[in-house]
Structure 1
């Protein structure tokens, strides 16, 4: 890598792109993944990756396609699992010094394995591959430092992390005051709606900082499938809907699937009007700087205007 001069960066992970932006290095970004869509000024950059499954279909069909790819991988070769395709010729043209990718989830974003397979098809191109692996909040902050180190901006990264942690601490203290000794509201967060999948990884920590108690999902562990019977038995006080990769508008299209289920009207959260939709693509499921905003959005849904923290009014919607 050409140390001391402008690097040529490709980001194949949306959260890494946001970290690059926070560190003031967007001018060095020469390519992005199909999922990298923030901040808006990167949208003119060439797309180095594409998705191989049909995402313009129902949630259940998307889930079925992913499941089929996994089954093929078990029966055949590792290539069968890849949901994403990398444009090898474009990679050659862009001549990156650094490529950011991830090892956390082969379904959520382009993986390190995808990048390695692509680079095997090229000769004379030896970029540094920086892989992020976020499972919990501390991992996200470590990833920010990792990105800062790779871009020779470690002091700036350290300062940003300190600021993020302080904002979460402020949120937690505010939520504690609002709770005033009462029990924490029991909250279910759904990361997929058909079939039901409960959020895991860093979501329990965000809920805790917002003053709630997550009743499904464990810190640092992948999301888990959930039956309607389990959801009904747990009967959360608040139900939050944040499908992975879905915008708020796309999430709203799936709400009728839930509303048609016989158990829907029996849920306490529905009866008491405590069901909310969150832009899971931009916020909760993106393991970057905006996880802090995600926690604040969660706090707004839990405590309402009493929270007195400004949040994105377009990032969430009250359902019932």
Structure 2
């Protein structure tokens, strides 16, 4: 076990606002949940943080269809508006010393520019440190653990957590390497239009013993047509739209059948899983994301993980 660094006055617990679900999970995994004084409207794990003040909201309703949500998002962006707003009055009242945000996707969470603007209007702005995360690959996700830990003066804990997560990822990759086949895998990031999982998803697929089809590691999610999907000829399709739970995704079962299942071979194995809790949240649960993926790519090899995550793995039969 790593020795915990001594804590001096400069290492006293800080007041942290996390405007990113993955960062909130990192803070809690470091054992520093007590430092959180505010969160975003999307932060929901662990359950013990749900009573904290919520500092953001979305201008786009998440209750519509995939196409309706995409259309609304594009309209907001076209009008040069931010998709998310920050409650500046509440932010000022909470007097945070550290604010964790992101600079990767303005659709996924409040933007760095919006956070900077809000902080610039705080009376104690010079005492606020903004920590912005921009993960595009698995190494970045692991590095962000130490970045957040350093901001909280928890260097040893950050190093230990990073090593533990990396070891679990490597253990699954080593098991997957023994598989006799490497099926072509497509991960679906959005349903209409169809977007494929980019960034760290191709790496996760490789770790799970598959070959990523249609997307490149560390690159944004590409948009494809049903005809493109047919040409990719995937053997495994993992459907996990960004921000959608498994149950929310299954509400669009008809669209999935028409646009995705009808475009791939009837022999392809198609699964729906929880894109909100896993996969699209680059934090500690990226390991559980890999476990779910491995269970779908090689169910015969990872039957233990298939049982562990049975509640969030939903196989779809070929449409008739």
TM-score (norm 1): 0.92
Q: Tell me what 2:5 maps to.
A: none
Q: Output the CA distance in 1 between the equivalents of 2:299 and 2:47.
A: 29
Q: Does 1:104 align with 2:104?
A: yes
Q: Does 1:285 align with 2:280?
A: yes
The CA deviation string for residues 251-285 of structure 1, in whole angstroms up to 9 with x for no partner, is 11112112134x733521xx226100110110010
Is the CA contact 2:41–2:54 (under 8 Å) kept in the aligned structure 1?
A: yes
Aligned length: 306
Is the CA contact 1:172–1:211 (under 8 Å) kept in the aligned structure 2?
A: yes
Q: Output the CA distance in 1 between the equivalents of 2:95 and 2:288.
A: 34
Q: CA deviation at 1:38?
A: 0.3
Is the CA contact 2:227–2:263 (under 8 Å) kept in the aligned structure 1?
A: no
Is the CA contact 2:77–2:83 (under 8 Å) kept in the aligned structure 1?
A: no
Q: Tell me what 1:57 maps to.
A: 64
The CA deviation string for residues 238-263 of structure 1, in whole angstroms up to 9 with x for no partner, is 111010011111011112112134x7
Q: Tell me what 1:212 maps to.
A: 210
Is the CA contact 1:197–1:225 (under 8 Å) kept in the aligned structure 2?
A: yes
Q: Tell me what 1:76 maps to.
A: none
Is the CA contact 1:276–1:319 (under 8 Å) kept in the aligned structure 2?
A: yes
Q: Structure 2 matches for 1:114-193, cutoff 5 A?
A: 114-126=114-126, 127-177=128-178, 179-180=179-180, 182=181, 184-193=182-191
The CA deviation string for residues 35-61 of structure 1, in whole angstroms up to 9 with x for no partner, is 110000000101011111121111101
Match of 1:14 among 8, 21, 36: 21
Q: Tell me what 2:261 maps to.
A: 264
Q: Output the CA distance in 2 between the equivalents of 1:117 and 1:138.
A: 30
Which consecutive residues of structure 1, in runs of 5 or more, have no partner in the other structure? 74-79
TM-score (norm 2): 0.92
Q: Does 1:198 align with 2:167?
A: no
Q: Output the CA distance in 1 between the equivalents of 2:165 and 2:264.
A: 35
Q: Structure 2 matches for 1:229-240, cutoff 5 A?
A: 229-240=227-238
Q: Tell me what 2:220 maps to.
A: 222
Q: CA deviation at 1:305?
A: 4.9
Q: Output the CA distance in 2 between the equivalents of 1:282 and 1:239.
A: 18
Q: Output the CA distance in 2 between the equivalents of 1:122 and 1:266.
A: 52
Which consecutive residues of structure 2, in runs of 5 or more, have no partner in the other structure? 1-8
Q: Output the CA distance in 2 between the equivalents of 1:117 and 1:307.
A: 47
Q: Output the CA distance in 1 between the equivalents of 2:58 and 2:313.
A: 26
Is the CA contact 2:234–2:268 (under 8 Å) kept in the aligned structure 1?
A: no
Runs of 4+ in 1 over 4 A off after TM superposition: none
Q: Output the CA distance in 2 between the equivalents of 1:114 and 1:307.
A: 43
Match of 2:313 among 308, 313, 316: 316
Q: CA RMSD in A?
A: 1.5
Is the CA contact 1:92–1:125 (under 8 Å) kept in the aligned structure 2?
A: no
Bigger drift between 143-152 and 306-315 goes to 306-315
